[in-house]
Chain A
């Protein structure tokens, strides 16, 4: 069965620090990849997605992610975080054959002002 692994469950950073959240998946074929974010008190919302093409994907609020097929990874990055980036971040993967998204356990990010 497919699985998605997010390496860190909790990350604490200071404002202006750089961020990288890891995501690895187990499926070897064509994949659709997503990062979702849940800000405190808000709904889960899409941050960015990769289907094909340029493996470096840009999303909202200055986030980007890089798909590295050889490493089965889709890591999320931001060069300089802000206090407002405090949220929980979820990686999700679909193999394109059906509707099901496989989700990582999430990473809770806390930014200290």
Chain B
């Protein structure tokens, strides 16, 4: 049981390049989340997927797109990376949606945009 996995662990991009961060969970959870974490700030929600086939914007969605490929997988795409997107990205999942439910986190992806 791997829990929540993310790839890659580290990535360096040049401004304007695109990339997709992958996330998968093997806990049969319905809901999945993408966060970013910046120094001195808490985690901020980028996008959320309550269930397969649905996605919703979070607090900071600009510059990102997501795909809930199936129940297990939820990817985050940067179409044209900018230095402001340098951050650590966390994927999480929970049994159901709603803020009162425990979320399970992946190890994070450290992204640097130069």
Interface of B is mostly: loop
User: Given the interface contacts A9-B40, A106-B42, does A99 sit within 8 Å of B105 by beta carbon?
Assistant: no
Complex interface bits, A82-113 against B, C-beta within 8 A gives 1, otherwise 0: 00000000101011111111111110000000
In the assembly, what is the distance between CA of A100 and CA of B34, in Å? 11
Q: Known: A32-B100, A43-B107, A94-B100. Contact between A100 and B58, CB under 8 A?
A: yes
- Number of A-B pairs, beta carbon distance below 8 Å: 61
- Check A101–B105 contact: CB distance below 8 A: no
Contact indicator per residue, chain A 25-46, by CB within 8 Å of chain B (1) or not (0): 0000000101010000011111
Contact B42 A105 (CB under 8 A): yes
Question: Which residues 9-42 of B have a CB within 8 angstroms of A?
Answer: 31, 33, 40-42
- How many residues of A sit at the interface, in one of the four size bands? 20 to 34
B41 touches A105 (CB 8 A): yes
- Indicate whether B50 reaches chain A with its CB closer than 8 angstroms: yes
Specify which chain B residues have a CB less than 8 angstroms from the CB of A51 in the assembled complex.
100
Name B105's closest neighbour in chain A (CB-CB).
Answer: A44
Q: B42–A96 contact, CB under 8 A?
A: no
Q: Which among B33, B40, B99, B103 is the interface contact of A95 at CB below 8 angstroms?
A: B99
Please tell me if the beta carbons of B99 and A96 are within 8 angstroms of each other in the complex.
yes
The reply to whether B42 and A43 form a contact with Cβ atoms under 8 Å apart is no
User: Besides the contacts A45-B104, A92-B42, A99-B98, what 5 more A-B pairs have beta carbons closer than 8 Å?
Assistant: A90-B43, A94-B99, A98-B99, A101-B99, A103-B43
